[in-house]
Structure 1
Amino acid sequence: MISISLCMIVKNEELVLGRCLDSVKNLMDEIIIVDTGSTDKTKEIASLYTNKIYDFPWINDFAAARNFSFSKATKDYIMWLDADDVLLYEDNKKLQQLKENLDTSVDMVIMRYNMSFDKDDKPTYSFNRERLLKRSCNYTWSGQVHEAIDYFGNIIYSSIGISHKKIKETPIDRNLKIYEYILSQGKKLQPREEFYYGRELMYNNRFDDAIEVLTSFINSSFGFVENKISACKDLAFCYFAQNKNLEGLLSLFRSFQFDEPRAEICCDIGYYFLEKQEYTKAIFWYELALTRTFDEKSSAFQIIDCYNYIPYLQLCVCYDKIGNYQKAFEYNELAGSIKPYDESYLYNKEYFNNFFSTF
């Protein structure tokens, strides 16, 4: 059985650190906490779980802090978590099995990172992340913000999910300030950094700046394909926010130059035509979304509901609008098969019960 070092970087995480560590402590052979300047009880809480607590002065560089935490690891494999992450019961059991049975020829294990959830606590937005790493491979983090590790070696994909469960909100401009600090030092952003910088501008409603940066990234000959596609979706959002709807639609279509249509893009185009009350066109795009396959091994940002629930629900609306009530009812029932307690499905169900009872 392999041994695992858990490596974390933290700052003012007294509200969530204990929850995180309680969810994984039974599986970790070593817990390393690197504190970047807490002023609350974070280090006191950490001391209940480990004596390997280190200070690392914050230098506007997440990768540097994570690399420092990795340098303290001594076990076969390294796992990283953020303080507001949780390993749920079933995922804990899966990780236990993985730990007991992992072939030591494996260098990297990719796991799902579940970032948002519906009312039934089912993931609605997730992507893959490098999560368990063989220490002897000397993997290194890069990127001062949205840091990542390059994939290499013998890699496997696992269905284990890490659940990101925020309690407090991070200041929305935190990452943006770091990017602007980097630029103020005269440094040039790498393609991946340019993509994320554009997203941070978008999150801060600086749409003109975001459009400029995202367009530059899309036009460049460098960058990961999935980031190019996401950038097209983000660029469309910026245009829609400015009521430049045609430019937004064209941005969505531009994603097709990089690969076949993604369900998320299809749903956005469908919504564009739904809002314009062009229901037949909307139906085409929502039905196309249903032909897309959710890729468990993709590194893309995937909105799980775009592969079933959202198209089902919106097709119900579209078919109702064009008078095909039976098909509208059938699509609503399909939506209910995914989320039987969702308010929209239940509202539609009552609507159809009342509608058909009049005949």
Structure 2
Amino acid sequence: MITISACLIVKNEEKVLARCLESLKDIVDEIIIIDTGSMDGTKELAKLYTEKIYDFKWVDDFSAARNFSFSKAAMDYIYVADADEVIDEENRKKFLDLKKALLPEIEIVQMLYSNQLAFNTTYNYDTEYRPKLYKRIRNFTWVDPIHESVALQPVIYDSDITIIHLPENNHAGRDFKTFQSVIKRGEKLSEKLLNLYARELFIAGTEFDFLEAETYFEEQAEENLPYESLKVIHCVLAKCGRLRQDEVQMYKYSLKNIAGGKPSAEICYEVGEYFYENGDYKEAIIWYYNAAYETECDLNIHFSGDYPLLRLSNCYNKLGMKEQSETYKKLADNWQQR
């Protein structure tokens, strides 16, 4: 049977930490808590479950904290947990079965992460696979009988274990603050983080959050980035232009997005919003229809679903076309996020 270290980074989690640790305490072999500055009873509560509690000065870098937590682990595998997660009894049994049967060549185990849309900031689906269990020490192996090379891709297993995410609130404010802190330090966001920043803006961002991000996205728009990354930059900057009533900027980045051949639903929706706000409901209908039926979302699934459908209902209502308005209202109400 393999052994497992559960590693958590926490700060002010006394409301939720106990239920997480209760679900872990008898299925893992050690619990490691990395505290990044709690001012409540988090550390005292954690002491009921483990002696391995370490302080880590927060530096606006979750990877740094995760790496520190991994450095304290001693078991065969490391389970990465957050304080607002819970494993129910059915999945605890599956977890124990996995411990008994896991083949040594497996290096990463993915588990189903559910309830992602509660207080959502970055996700378009309620359940999806996430890597949760990592082999602590990886042995590199040479492969191929000739022109040999080291196998670099990890061996991944998709388990049927479900982790339930039960947040108390969303972390958008914290995330936007962290993004801005990294930028102000002069560091460049990776393409992955740039895309996540844009996605989080379209899912949970306020007008202030968009406008605070605008300068950085303008700088990145001039970089030699892949088309898919430029598309999401265009989405952010077109929306910023609309929010500031800068028609030139809105049209500039909307046209750049459309000219690429695969327009974003978010762009069509923003152009629709421009015409809707200016009372041109017939023109707005064209763009909302394209958002709902002719394009795909790049950042937030709602922009190709219930958002434009509801706006179509609003437009037809403004035009006195009650039957069409009711039809789109029903479509919006019945649209379901997968």
TM normalised by structure 1 equals: 0.66
Letter in structure 1 aligned against 2:242 = F
Do the aligned partners of 1:249 and 1:272 also contact (CA within 8 Å) in 2? no
For 2:261 and 2:22, the matched residues in 1 are separated by: 42
For 2:164 and 2:260, the matched residues in 1 are separated by: 29
For 1:293 and 1:28, the matched residues in 2 are separated by: 46
For 2:294 and 2:121, the matched residues in 1 are separated by: 16
CA distance 1:303–1:209, change in 2 (3 Å): closer
Superposition deviation, residue 43 in structure 1: 0.9
- String of CA shifts for 1:221-269, please: whole Å, max 9, x gaps: 246x655433322223332332213412432443346672343343333
Pairing 1:72-83 to 2, within 5 Å after superposition: 72-83=72-83
Superposition deviation, residue 44 in structure 1: 0.9
For 1:304 and 1:117, the matched residues in 2 are separated by: 15
Superposition deviation, residue 280 in structure 1: 3.3
Do the aligned partners of 2:314 and 2:325 also contact (CA within 8 Å) in 1? yes
Do the aligned partners of 1:198 and 1:211 also contact (CA within 8 Å) in 2? no
Superposition deviation, residue 282 in structure 1: 2.7
Structure 2 counterpart of 1:54: 54
For 1:5 and 1:69, the matched residues in 2 are separated by: 10
Which of 250, 253, 265 is matched with 1:251 structurally?
253
Are residues 1:153 and 2:154 paired?
yes
Are residues 1:109 and 2:110 paired?
yes
Seq. identity, %:
32
Superposition deviation, residue 214 in structure 1: 0.8
Q: Return 5+ residue gaps in structure 1 as ranges.
A: 139-150, 340-359
Provide the alpha-carbon RMSD of the alignment: 4.4
Q: Which range is displaced more, 153-162 or 312-321? A: 153-162
For 1:173 and 1:307, the matched residues in 2 are separated by: 24
- String of CA shifts for 1:253-312, please: whole Å, max 9, x gaps: 4334667234334333332232233333333333333347989xxxx6x43433432232
Do the aligned partners of 1:320 and 1:328 also contact (CA within 8 Å) in 2? yes
CA distance 1:48–1:196, change in 2 (3 Å): farther
Superposition deviation, residue 337 in structure 1: 2.3
Pairing 1:317-328 to 2, within 5 Å after superposition: 317-328=314-325
For 1:68 and 1:100, the matched residues in 2 are separated by: 29
- String of CA shifts for 1:104-124, please: whole Å, max 9, x gaps: 546353755866548xxxx68
Structure 2 counterpart of 1:10: 10
For 1:51 and 1:336, the matched residues in 2 are separated by: 51
Structure 1 counterpart of 2:289: 287
For 1:162 and 1:229, the matched residues in 2 are separated by: 33
Structure 2 counterpart of 1:143: none
Pairing 1:146-185 to 2, within 5 Å after superposition: 153-155=154-156, 163=165, 165-167=167-169, 174-175=177-178, 178-179=181-182, 182-183=185-186
For 2:190 and 2:16, the matched residues in 1 are separated by: 33
Which of 305, 308, 313 is matched with 1:311 structurally?
308
Q: Return 5+ residue gaps in structure 2 as ranges.
A: 139-151
Structure 2 counterpart of 1:240: 242
Structure 1 counterpart of 2:144: none
- String of CA shifts for 1:10-59, please: whole Å, max 9, x gaps: 22332332344456556545422111233331111112233322223334
Structure 1 counterpart of 2:232: 230
CA distance 1:14–1:208, change in 2 (3 Å): closer
SS in 1 for 2:219: helix
Which of 258, 264, 267 is matched with 2:266 structurally?
264
For 1:62 and 1:93, the matched residues in 2 are separated by: 30
SS in 1 for 2:8: strand
Do the aligned partners of 1:76 and 1:136 also contact (CA within 8 Å) in 2? yes
For 1:221 and 1:59, the matched residues in 2 are separated by: 29
Letter in structure 2 aligned against 1:313 = L
Structure 2 counterpart of 1:68: 68
Structure 2 counterpart of 1:86: 85
Structure 2 counterpart of 1:329: 326
Do the aligned partners of 1:279 and 1:318 also contact (CA within 8 Å) in 2? yes
Q: Which range is displaced more, 200-209 or 240-249? A: 200-209
Structure 1 counterpart of 2:223: 220
For 1:259 and 1:23, the matched residues in 2 are separated by: 49
SS in 1 for 2:185: helix
CA distance 1:294–1:255, change in 2 (3 Å): closer
Letter in structure 1 aligned against 2:35 = D
